[in-house]
Amino acid sequence: MDAQNLHYFEKAPVAKAVAHFAIPMMLGTSMSVIYSILNAYFLGTLNDTAMLTALALTLPLFAIIMALGNLIGMGSGTFISRLLGEKRYDDVKHVSSFAFYSSLVLGLIVIAVGLPLIDPIVHGLGATPESFGFTKDYVTIMLIGSPIVVLFFTLENIVRSEGAAITSMTGMILSVVVNIILDALAVFVFHWDVIGVASATVVSNLVACVFFAFHMGKKSQFLTISMNWFKATKEIMGNVFKIGVPVFIMSIFLGAMSLIFNHYLVEYGDQSVAAYGISSRLLQFPEFILMGLCEGVVPLIAFTFTANKSRMKETIGFTIKTIVSLAVLFGIIVYLISDHLIGLFTKDPQLIEMGSYILHVTFLSLFITGMTTLFTGIFQATAQGTAAFIMSIIQGVTLIPVLYIANQMNGFHGVVWSLVIADTVAFLVGAIMLYILRNKLQPDLESLVQ
């Protein structure tokens, strides 16, 4: 962490500090969404609904692999930021080395467990006879590349945790640019369709991992990938997993929710799954912008939690105002041009109508999901493991019964609206817990949540 990063942690005006940490993360996450949208676009040019369906069905698997990266990355990253606030610099090296090698081991475990079970996994994802082959191709490539994908999500968090937000953004954008180029080559030049798109994801993540590893090994003052600094002490594992496990569980629940959601949508035909796949990718753009904002400020909140709690309160307050402004802006844009957005991916009038409807409904909870992400980030940054765990499961626990009841009562419309209901419950639970913990986190925080 150089003097400039330390300045943003400790002394810069809060608005500038939040911008320093959040804008690179927002740009990086928005680029990753653009890549996800372009994946669907490239496959959509082949006019094969089964391919788009396969892409939607594999989202839960990607969420699980990403969850393993966040298990180590978020847990280690928030711990590193707190250690920097306490000026325990040698411990930062131990934690970063632990994160690097643990991620690779987790990825190898995924390969060992996943490949022998490839057919049951594809069936479990809800593949239809038409989409089974494409789904299996995508799943196979993602399983083989899982050590790289897990490592990518870990290192992005680790680099950001020391305040190197621009470096983190650069690695993410590098991955996206490489992915887009490889996608175009795979689909239009080599005609590898789904296999090419999945392979492009793995290769682009590998390029970013090399970039992050070079930064940690050669440029960072405190981070390292050297095995000489590897330690798996009780303190390191306890702090990493206290936050990492809730993040992992939350990601697993998101994957499970997507899986269950797809199973309900399949009842209404492949078109409904494809429509949800397209609309969810479009929704990811504003969602990931807000997620980038909230996750971007987590290192700042974690640092100030141990170094300056008054500054922590100002950071949270400014972030809330920004979430409100962005949610209103994105909501207006989407409601004005939703049909045109869906029309970029398909010319099917029914698919456009269905996708536009899903987009309108799910956008209602944009502000709610932004605030929920912030609540979760606060609990992670301040080492409130129990609260983080509750946030990790509440949406999934709520969605499953709501989804069942809504489907019975109102069919397709009930399935779509169940997402908004589950998001609202998660928001209310998070707000209540923040109010309960206000004195433990910071006495002045009471004024923020009243």
SS3 of residue 329 by DSSP: helix
Cα distances from 369 to residues 121, 193, 288, 350, 377, in angstroms, run: 29, 33, 10, 28, 12
Q: Which helix (H) or strand (E) holds 378?
A: helix 366-381
Q: Which two tokens stand for residue 291?
A: 């997620």
Q: Which two tokens stand for residue 265?
A: 């949508």
Write out the DSSP string of 243-308. Answer: HHHHHHHHHHHHHHHHHHHHHHHHTT-HHHHHHHHHHHHHHHHHHHHHHHHHHHTHHHHHHHHHH-
Distance (Å, whole) CA 352 – CA 110: 37
pTM for this prediction: 0.72
Terminal-residue alpha carbon distance, the chain = 36
Domain extent at residue 163: 3-449
Q: What is the pLDDT along the chain (450 residues), one digit of tens a residue?
A: 555 667 778 888 888 888 888 888 787 777 666 766 777 777 777 767 777 777 777 777 887 888 888 889 888 988 888 888 888 888 889 999 999 999 999 999 999 999 999 989 888 887 777 778 888 888 999 999 999 999 999 998 899 888 788 888 889 889 888 988 898 898 888 888 788 888 988 999 999 999 999 999 888 888 989 888 888 888 888 888 887 887 787 777 766 776 777 778 777 777 777 778 777 777 777 887 888 888 888 888 888 888 788 888 889 999 999 999 998 898 888 888 777 777 777 777 777 778 888 888 878 888 888 898 899 888 888 878 788 888 877 877 788 888 888 888 888 888 888 888 888 988 999 999 988 887 766 544 444 444
Distance (Å, whole) CA 122 – CA 57: 9
**What is the chain's Cα-based Rg?**
21
Q: Which two tokens stand for residue 191?
A: 């005609």
Number of domains the chain contains: 1
Q: Which two tokens stand for residue 73?
A: 């990355």
> Backbone phi, then psi, for 82, in 5-degree steps?
-65, -40
Distance (Å, whole) CA 141 – CA 139: 6
